[in-house]
Amino acid sequence: MRSFYDSKYLKGDITGGLVAGVVALPLALAFGVQSGLGAIAGLYGAIAVGILAALFGGTNTQASGPTGPMTVVSAALVANAIDVAGSLQDAMGIILLSFLVGGALQIIFGLINIAGYIKYFPYPVISGFMSGVGLIIVILQLFPFVGLDSPKSTLKVIMDLPRLFGELNWQALVLGAMTVIIYYVFPRITKAVPSALVALITVSIFAFFIQWNVPIIGEIPSGFPSLQLEGLFSVDSSAYFLVLEYGMVLAVLGSIDSLLTSVIADNMTKTNHNSNRELIGQGIGNMAAALIGGIPGAGATKGTVVNINNGGRTKLSGALHGAFLLAVLLGLSSLAAYIPLAVLAGILIPIGFKIVDKKGLKHLRTVPRADAIVLLIVLFWTTFGSLIQAVGIGVTLAALLFMKRSSDIGEEGMQVGTLAGFDGEKPWDDEGDFFKRHKDHVYIKHLYGPLFFGFTSHFKEEVKKITEDIKVLIIRMDRVPYMDQSGLYALEDAILELSQKDIKVVLTGLQEQPQDLLTSIDIIPDLVPEQQLFGHIKDSFPWVTETLRS
């Protein structure tokens, strides 16, 4: 039995899974409403993806379910499918088939090792897309927040803003405001109970007893979900392109979302996930969700972090998180019918703002102009245009601008190479004797050419190889003429990770552009003090030697 499951993890898995389920409950209901398919679709998706992605995935502590980015894409699909079919009922075949195709593509991605390529998405593209998704969530919840039906697109919301102020339901506005206040204030009292759940229950009970006239979720089916096969395989051929288009976007976005969360889980538990297996598990979960009428999901960062912090360590914890939601469906779904939509909007608006990448936006004036332009284009195109086109345009622009920059560097006589590895890496002539004397406690990292989005993943992997026996890492920047936003944040993350191991980082040979960039966001001097910067590696040897003695 022990080879199958170690019982020492049982208590932590139960606690972590149940707490993660409590955190996921209000989000599942809210994301279901946001998708346009109703709260029950969010709950069905959270159950299917939560249980099956945990059991078949490659990250032991992952808690999966509907997420903001996946819900925004699902909502766009629902709106487009209704335009094609004429009504939600007639569009369900297109919608669920798209969800099913998305899950199937994720399984294919896992089987053909597509995870090895997803990590090369440039940071500005991911940042702009996520920030756009966050803004979409906020904008589309403005009308429900004041008790009104919302237009289906952000542009229509902006154009219809006069109605927001002329027809608002002040009672709904009060409930929404109460929800937001509790969401932000309650964690200052205690973090033992999720503030979103406290806000959901408290304000809903208040609204029920005071009998205010506000829109509510309405009747939610109880009992086990049934298969939704009717119409699934009778979609008109004219809608196939729409199905494939949104299926691909859901697959790619769900894969990126899940793998980013898997990396966070690895950092917290000091383990390594299986990327390909994770995509297969997510695909199985999303296909199952489609078959029972649920919205697709991905690895949920908040649920995963909560699971780990409360003791979750194995796949059982993630599965229990989904099982808890199933128990809620079977026993408490009738009560959820009375939840005001303004309360769900009050939960979603703070979540939308959290999804916005404040770090990337904060550094727009300091990162390379090309990165800033790409981020802004992707952000606005995502928010007010097509999510699908936004990612494609962003990746294309990032690649073109990088090729232009690389061409310019080549013309200036600079070498554009690859990152050197630690394994088997021989010291350069000007560091050989020093390295031989201190190789047990010092690593010397050689970088060649621009530190950009194509190399950052490899760079992070090499940093993870550094053990705590190493006291100093010298990073030679002599041959790094240029650093983009992805490279900047990769270096920052590496320095932070090493500092947690009490490993000092020394930078030598910094050229003008990288040094200006590192200084502009305070990596120099906050993370790497001035005394750890040297013009040439030989200048660093006395300081390193003294540090090793102390």
- What per-residue confidence (pLDDT) applies to 1? 44
CA distance 326 to 126: 33
CA distance 71 to 234: 25
Q: Return the SS3 of 78.
A: helix
Whether 154 and 136 have beta carbons less than 8 Å apart is answered as: yes
Give φ, ψ of 227 to 5 degrees: -70, 135
CA distances from 229 to 92, 93, 288 (A): 10, 8, 12
> What residues form DSSP beta bridges with 339?
none
- What per-residue confidence (pLDDT) applies to 405? 62
- What per-residue confidence (pLDDT) applies to 120? 67
Q: Considering just the CA atoms, what is the radius of gyration of the chain in Å?
A: 25
DSSP 236-269: -GGGHHHHHHHHHHHHHHHHHHHHHHHHHHHHHH
Q: Which fold has domain 432-549?
A: Transcription Regulator spoIIAA (3.30.750)
Please report which helix (H) or strand (E) contains residue 444, including its range: strand 442-448
Burial 378-410 (b: 16+ CB within 10 A, else e): bbebbbbbebbebbebbbebbeebbeebbeebe
Q: Return the SS3 of 423.
A: coil
Q: Return the SS3 of 3.
A: coil
HEC-encoded secondary structure of 104-166: HHHHHHHHCCCHHHHCCCCHHHHHHHHHHHHHHHHHHCHHHHCCCCCCCCHHHHHHCHHHHHH
Whether 503 and 466 have beta carbons less than 8 Å apart is answered as: yes
- What per-residue confidence (pLDDT) applies to 424? 53
Q: Return the SS3 of 63.
A: coil
Any idea where the domains of the chain sit in the sequence? 11-382, 432-549
Q: Could you give the dihedral angle defined by the CA atoms of residues 35, 36, 39 and 43, in that order, rounded to the nearest 10 degrees?
A: -40
CA distances from 226 to 93, 221, 292 (A): 15, 11, 6
CA distance 527 to 532: 10
- What per-residue confidence (pLDDT) applies to 454? 67
- Averaged in consecutive runs of 10 residues, what is the pLDDT profile of the chain (550 residues)? 73 91 92 94 96 96 94 94 92 95 96 78 85 91 93 90 91 96 93 87 94 90 84 84 94 91 86 93 97 95 90 93 92 85 93 90 88 92 85 79 58 33 62 81 84 73 79 90 88 89 92 92 92 93 90
**Token digits for 230?**
């009717």
